Amino acid sequence: MVKNYYVYQITDEVTNQFYIGSRGCYCDINEDKYLGSPKIWKPNKKRLTKEIISSFENRNDAILFERNLIINNLSNELNMNFSIPHPNIHRENLITAKDKSGKIITIYKDDPLFGVEYFGVSKGLVLVKDCEDNVFMTNVTDPRYINGELTHYNKGKNVGSEHHNFNKIWVNNGFKQKLVDSSEILIGWVFGTLQKGFDTPSSHKKTIWVNFEDKNKRVKDSEINEYISKGWKIGRSNLKEYEKSGNRKIVIPDLKGYKWIHNIELKVNKRVINNQIEEFINNEWVLGRFNFKK
């Protein structure tokens, strides 16, 4: 079966914003339902129309045609292409640049004139958004960008302590993992992800972690039921401190917001929430963790 290549344009019927791309498929290109894969622009797919601009016999010709269309529309604010495909598909030691006249050229990465005579294609351009969150490229000298009418694409994004997941942590129960609030206490769950994707040593295959109180152990799959009947739980526990309530274990999270304190007379280390520290200090506890084994 022959693979067909073509260049297409998808357009938002409401905003008239558009995206140009190239595609290869083993089908009739006029029946291909593919609607592009823009990385930044996320349109409502129900409002998109697709136009086949031209067809080609090979991928390289399609990419060159797509590249030229995008370059010719760089100054169009409705253009949602924020990167330019390279004419050399494998991009071996080559980069796209432009000269002082604005002409797009291809040069080697180590060209000594890069930064002197040749510059990055996006030099002088900035990715911005308007008050309606429309994203596009504009010149850094654009008066709307200078006076603040247009803002940088990343401005206002929640980062650091403002991120909605800042106070959340990953936990897992040996089978599943999820994000939970740092103040939430989960019985049978431990901190961290499942670390998927790593090679499993042959000695660990067909085994699983189980825990009982402050002990962890790997056991064979065939032994799971036996351990569960003796009170062991599936999953690995990395708890450094715990309290018993009946036969259940309450996890004290090893998180920010907790501090170690110790009592010399009782020979005990304990982790407590910051707002409880003063109460313990007044009762002969001291900040920090003490090594009672010395």
The predicted-structure confidence for 154-174, as pLDDT tens digits, reads as follows 666 655 666 667 777 888 777
Give the domain-ending residue among 34, 54, 80.
Answer: 80
- Burial of residue 215, with CB atoms counted within 10 A of its CB: 0-12 exposed, 13-18 middle, 19 or more buried: exposed
Q: Which residues have C-beta within 8 Å of that of residue 207, sequence separation ≥ 6?
A: 218, 219, 220, 221
* Residue in the structure block whose two tokens are 């090594």: 291
Contact (CB, 8 A) for 288 and 261: yes
Q: What is the DSSP secondary structure assignment for residue 276, as one 8-state letter?
A: G
* 222 shares its domain with 274: no
Contact (CB, 8 A) for 131 and 156: no
In a domain, 190, yes or no: yes
Q: How far apart are CA 192 and CA 209, in angstroms?
A: 14
Rounded to an integer, the average pLDDT of 8-23 is: 93
Q: Which residues have C-beta within 8 Å of that of residue 253, sequence separation ≥ 6?
A: 169, 182, 183, 185, 191
Q: How far apart are CA 231 and CA 214, in angstroms?
A: 13
Tens digits of residue pLDDT in 250-273? 444 444 567 778 887 777 887 777
* 22 shares its domain with 66: yes
How does DSSP assign 7-50, residue by residue?
EEEEEETTT--EEEEEEEESS-GGG-------SS----GGGEEE
Task: Say whether 291 sits in a helix, a strand or coil.
Answer: coil
Per-residue pLDDT band at 36 (split at 50, 70, 90): confident
How does DSSP assign 132-172, residue by residue?
T--EEEEETT-HHHHTTSSEETTTT---GGGSTTTTEEEEE
In a domain, 106, yes or no: no
* 204 shares its domain with 268: no
In a domain, 20, yes or no: yes
Per-residue pLDDT band at 144 (split at 50, 70, 90): confident
Q: How far apart are CA 236 and CA 83, in angstroms?
A: 45
Give the domain-ending residue among 62, 80, 98.
Answer: 80
Domain count, the chain: 3
Query: Which residues constitute the domain of residue 238?
Result: 172-242
Beta bridge partners, 212, equal 215
Rounded to an integer, the average pLDDT of 99-108 is: 74
Q: Name the strand (E) or helix (H) holding 268.
A: strand 268-273
In a domain, 179, yes or no: yes
Mean pLDDT of the chain: 76
In a domain, 67, yes or no: yes
Give the distance from CA 118 to its chain's centroid. 33
Q: Which residues have C-beta within 8 Å of that of residue 238, sequence separation ≥ 6?
A: 190, 191, 192, 216, 254
Residue 275 has pLDDT above 50, yes or no: yes
Rounded to an integer, the average pLDDT of 130-145 is: 81
* 206 shares its domain with 275: no
The tokens describing 279, both together, are 């109460």
Residues of the chain with pLDDT > 90: what percent?
14
- Name the region of 154 (left: φ>0; alpha: ψ -120 to 50; beta: rest): alpha
In a domain, 120, yes or no: no
* 197 shares its domain with 262: no
Residue 143 has pLDDT above 70, yes or no: yes
Give the domain-ending residue among 64, 80, 96.
Answer: 80
* Residue in the structure block whose two tokens are 């309290």: 243
- Report the C-alpha dihedral over residues 192, 198, 203, 205, rounded to 10 degrees: 90
* 183 shares its domain with 209: yes
In a domain, 184, yes or no: yes
In a domain, 8, yes or no: yes
